[in-house]
A and B are shown apart, each in its own frame.
Chain A
Amino acid sequence: MSDYTLKTMMNKPERLAPGHRMCAGCGATIAVRAVLRGLHENDHAVIGNATGCLEVSSFMYPYTSWEDSYIHNAFENAGATLSGVETAYHALKKRGKLKEDVNYKFITFGGDGGTYDIGFQSLSGAMERNHDMVYVCYDNGAYMNTGIQRSSATPMYADTTTTPVGTQSVGKMQNRKDLANIIADHDVPYVAQTTFTQNFIDIHKKSEKAIYTEGAAFLNIMAPCPRGWRYETAEIMDVCKMAVETCYWPLFEVDHGNWILNYEPKKKLPIEDFLKSQGRFKHLFKPGNEHLIEEFQAEVDRRWEDLLYKCSK
């Protein structure tokens, strides 16, 4: 890792070919490419994918963007499907049908719909059974593929198409589920939360570690969606930076039960700095809604304190 530079990394052969149909500026493909750069060049991979934007846009018959073997099965079962693939690998190796020196790694991608919600059971089962695989959630905080409906990953007060802001509504009424925490409680070998930061070193280190840690690993990657969040597409890096600097999306990892905070802002910025560039939170800045921002801030603070406590042990 000492020789990491973004330039060297970007010179690695791409494992997700261009020409797919994802939106310009989509966070999901940025996440996928960053994760796949964590694979060592000589290693093979089988990529799994839950139904969602990424799947319908990257593998449209007869074209595929995936350089590695790839399987999409359905929406709610990416964890179980890759469990089967990974087990097949062990079975075929054991029976001499795959050469000893051939290495495969198993990585599956799902959005927050396929991961936090409909695929939660399948994910939990795969993690508990400790398959040697990485489950990567590209979390854009709503069901974007079907048109920006709320998920359990949607933050409170976000304006979505099933929690629309109106005269009787200020957006989603519930807090988001903390999935990295929940998967860490499965006692899997490795869990990490990350997003796109300067140089992409955090996501790179965590991807490589997740892929090369034996047993189950889970990566939760905040991957903004310009359509759903309604920010200027070119500003994705600023949006991610503010998520980290406000401690809305802290960077941490849980390595064999050891909680590690990867970044602590020198000065924690107010949550408005994250919210204000996004159209989904526009209503929070209307006069009379100050208390909503205060409540949002209080929840961010509560979770941050909880994380600091876990990491100080």
Chain B
Amino acid sequence: MAIKDRMSGNEAVAYAIRQVNPDVMPAFPITPSTEIPQMVSTYIANGEMDTEFIPVESEHSSMSATIGAEAAGARSLTATSSAGLALMWEELLLASSNRLPLVLTLVNRTLSGPININCDHSDGMGARDTGWIQIYAENNQEAYDNFIQAYPIAEDKRVHLPVMICQDGFITSHAVENIELLEDEKVKEFVGEYEPEEFLLNPGNPIAVGPYSISNYAMEAKKNQEIAMENSKEVIIEVAEKYRELSGRGFSLFEEYRTEDADYIMLIMGSAAGTAKQAVDDLREQGKKVGVLKLRVFRPFPAKEIAEALKNCKAVAIMDRCESYNGNGGPLGGEVTSALFRFKVMIEAVNYIYGLAGRDFTVSDVCGIFEELEDMIVNGTEIEQFQYIRLR
């Protein structure tokens, strides 16, 4: 029987960490993810889990120590947000290139400057090319569910890549909502024991990690890493399927909400998907054919599947909670339009930037966007292809 409770996103992830009970967790506090290491420390202090916690002196060191622990043969993780992830950037690349299946729970917060503690996706998006699998959550329930699936994906022999489990800062991490939790034994059984093939603490079988590699070998190493990222897609789908059997919940690469016959679709990621779904419900009552594609897996990028899902609509609003400073749109704007072009889905695609540094994004904003898409298609009105929502 599922356990019904009320929790914040941070509580939910900390609860999942307790259930998984990994071997080692180095961490350094940063708003809004600070509560996660705090709660884990409290669980340890009260004997509810026995993970070794390392209170490191920076996020660079937290990822460095996580890499050391994982390479040593221990299931490891850390948590961070914003500038903490930026400080880890060099190490994110080492975690993935050393093919270490560790986990990072990211609570999305904007990057400086100006310094601001609220949500957007600029931290996670900044790490989009570091070779990590990235899975985003709409709410506390998904943050919990996604964390439990992280190790089975990362540790799969076809993958061997680190996984970032993302939730929106404050909106998800601090807001308390209803949640259904699995029993400890079910989680332990689902995640299983970590059995690394090659690791430092293997008496009689020493290994060396982190070589200098000359050009004769380095390019193949990078291609192999890319193949692992491609492989991870089927593993993510398999694990999601297995998790659905266990919990009755969840989506694979993305969720399609009322998109079957939709003329207009909003493609969005994270907590604002809930806002978009509410707007869709309201507009459907008015007879508007609108839907939401909520992206769950951003890395690997499900280009083909997205193109397939959008091919029958007339226009898509691509929603970026992040600015790319390239003069041409946000990260999703770039990647989704590239997917549409590659798979020859020639629909209208408008890129909107919303919610930067915690700016509100409401149901009426979503309705306004759908209205604009309809105006473009029905009346042939020209609209800006890359624009900001709620800019003062």
Secondary structure dominating the interface of A: mixed
Chain A: interface size category: 35 or more
Query: Given A59-B210, A74-B94, A125-B56, A84 and B64 touching (CB < 8 A)?
Result: yes
Task: Write the A45-85 contact mask toward B (1 if CB under 8 angstroms, else 0).
Answer: 01010000001100111101011111111101101111111
A88, CB-defined interface residue at 8 Å: yes
Task: Write the A75-111 contact mask toward B (1 if CB under 8 angstroms, else 0).
Answer: 0110111111101111110110111001010000000
Complex CA–CA separation, A232 to B56 (angstroms): 43
Complex CA–CA separation, A80 to B71 (angstroms): 13
Most interface-central of A68, A79, A80, A83 (chain B CB within 10 A): A80
Is the Cβ of B52 less than 8 Å from the Cβ of A64? no
Query: Given A46-B200, A83-B65, A125-B58, A88 and B72 touching (CB < 8 A)?
Result: yes
Taking CB atoms and an 8 Å cut-off, the chain B residues in 196-229 that contact chain A are: 200-203, 206-214, 217
Q: Contact check: which of A73, A82, A88, A125 meets B23 at CB < 8 Å?
A: A88
> Nearest Cβ in chain B — how far from A45, in angstroms?
9
B319, CB-defined interface residue at 8 Å: no
Which residue of A is nearest B60, CB measured?
A77
> Nearest Cβ in chain B — how far from A201, in angstroms?
29
Complex CA–CA separation, A255 to B18 (angstroms): 39
Query: Given A87-B24, A88-B69, A72 and B210 touching (CB < 8 A)?
Result: yes
Which residue of A is nearest B193, CB measured?
A97
Query: Given A71-B200, A90-B52, A61 and B68 touching (CB < 8 A)?
Result: no
A121, CB-defined interface residue at 8 Å: yes
Query: Given A44-B203, A69-B207, A73-B67, A84 and B57 touching (CB < 8 A)?
Result: no
Query: Given A84-B64, A91-B23, A102-B203, A124 and B208 touching (CB < 8 A)?
Result: no
Taking CB atoms and an 8 Å cut-off, the chain A residues in 19-53 that contact chain B are: 44, 46, 48
> Nearest Cβ in chain A — how far from B18, in angstroms?
15
B348, CB-defined interface residue at 8 Å: no
Q: Which residues of A contact B55 (CB under 8 A)?
A: 129
Is the Cβ of B65 less than 8 Å from the Cβ of A66? no
Which residue of B is nearest A93, CB measured?
B201
Is the Cβ of B23 less than 8 Å from the Cβ of A92? yes
A122, CB-defined interface residue at 8 Å: yes
Complex CA–CA separation, A80 to B57 (angstroms): 9
Q: Which residues of A contact B203 (CB under 8 A)?
A: 44, 98-99, 102
Q: Which residues of A contact B52 (CB under 8 A)?
A: 87-88, 90-91, 94
Complex CA–CA separation, A89 to B202 (angstroms): 10
Query: Given A61-B211, A64-B208, A84 and B217 touching (CB < 8 A)?
Result: no
> Nearest Cβ in chain B — how far from A132, in angstroms?
13
Complex CA–CA separation, A90 to B24 (angstroms): 9
Q: Report how many residues on chain B are interfacial, defined by Cβ distance under 8 Å.
A: 43
> Nearest Cβ in chain A — how far from B164, in angstroms?
18
Q: Which residues of A contact B57 (CB under 8 A)?
A: 121-122, 124-125, 128
Q: Which residues of B contact A89 (CB under 8 A)?
A: 72, 201
Is the Cβ of B61 less than 8 Å from the Cβ of A97? no
> Nearest Cβ in chain A — how far from B102, in angstroms?
10
Q: Contact check: which of A68, A72, A97 meets B211 at CB < 8 Å?
A: A72
Query: Given A61-B217, A77-B60, A80-B56, A87 and B212 touching (CB < 8 A)?
Result: no
Query: Given A125-B56, A125-B61, A88 and B73 touching (CB < 8 A)?
Result: yes
Complex CA–CA separation, A76 to B211 (angstroms): 16
Complex CA–CA separation, A71 to B211 (angstroms): 8
Is the Cβ of B208 less than 8 Å from the Cβ of A70? yes
Task: Write the B290-312 contact mask toward A (1 if CB under 8 angstroms, else 0).
Answer: 00000000000000000000000
Which residue of A is nearest B213, CB measured?
A61
Is the Cβ of B54 less than 8 Å from the Cβ of A97? no
Is the Cβ of B211 less than 8 Å from the Cβ of A122? no
> Nearest Cβ in chain B — how far from A144, in angstroms?
16
Complex CA–CA separation, A56 to B58 (angstroms): 26
Query: Given A81-B68, A94-B50, A76 and B60 touching (CB < 8 A)?
Result: yes
Is the Cβ of B206 less than 8 Å from the Cβ of A70? yes
Query: Given A69-B200, A84-B69, A91-B24, A77 and B61 touching (CB < 8 A)?
Result: yes
Q: Which residues of B contact A67 (CB under 8 A)?
A: 206
Task: Write the A112-131 contact mask toward B (1 if CB under 8 angstroms, else 0).
Answer: 00000000011011001100
Is the Cβ of B90 less than 8 Å from the Cβ of A121? no
Complex CA–CA separation, A182 to B178 (angstroms): 52
Most interface-central of A69, A76, A128 (chain B CB within 10 A): A69
Q: Contact check: which of B69, B91, B206, B213 meets A85 at CB < 8 Å?
A: B69
Q: Which residues of B contact A61 (CB under 8 A)?
A: 211-214, 217
> Nearest Cβ in chain A — how far from B74, in angstroms?
4
Task: Write the B19-42 contact mask toward A (1 if CB under 8 angstroms, else 0).
Answer: 000011010000000000000000
Complex CA–CA separation, A295 to B26 (angstroms): 46
B66, CB-defined interface residue at 8 Å: yes
B51, CB-defined interface residue at 8 Å: yes
Q: Which residues of B contact A68 (CB under 8 A)?
A: 206
Complex CA–CA separation, A110 to B212 (angstroms): 16
Is the Cβ of B54 less than 8 Å from the Cβ of A129? yes
Complex CA–CA separation, A68 to B202 (angstroms): 10
Q: Contact check: which of B24, B61, B90, B217 meets A62 at CB < 8 Å?
A: B217
Is the Cβ of A69 less than 8 Å from the Cβ of B58? no
Is the Cβ of A64 less than 8 Å from the Cβ of B211? yes
Q: Contact check: which of B91, B202, B207 meets A77 at CB < 8 Å?
A: B91
Known: A71-B209, A83-B64. 12 other contacts (CB 8 A): A59-B208, A61-B212, A64-B211, A69-B200, A74-B90, A80-B61, A84-B70, A88-B72, A88-B76, A88-B201, A91-B74, A95-B23
Q: What are 6 sample pairs from A and B whose C-beta atoms fall under 8 A apart? A: A70-B209, A104-B201, A122-B57, A122-B60, A125-B61, A128-B57
Among all A-B residue pairs, the 4 with the closest Cβ atoms:
A84-B68, A84-B65, A125-B57, A88-B72
What is B's interface to A at a CB cutoff of 8 Å?
Answer: 23-24, 26, 50-52, 54-58, 60-62, 64-74, 76, 90-91, 94, 200-203, 206-214, 217
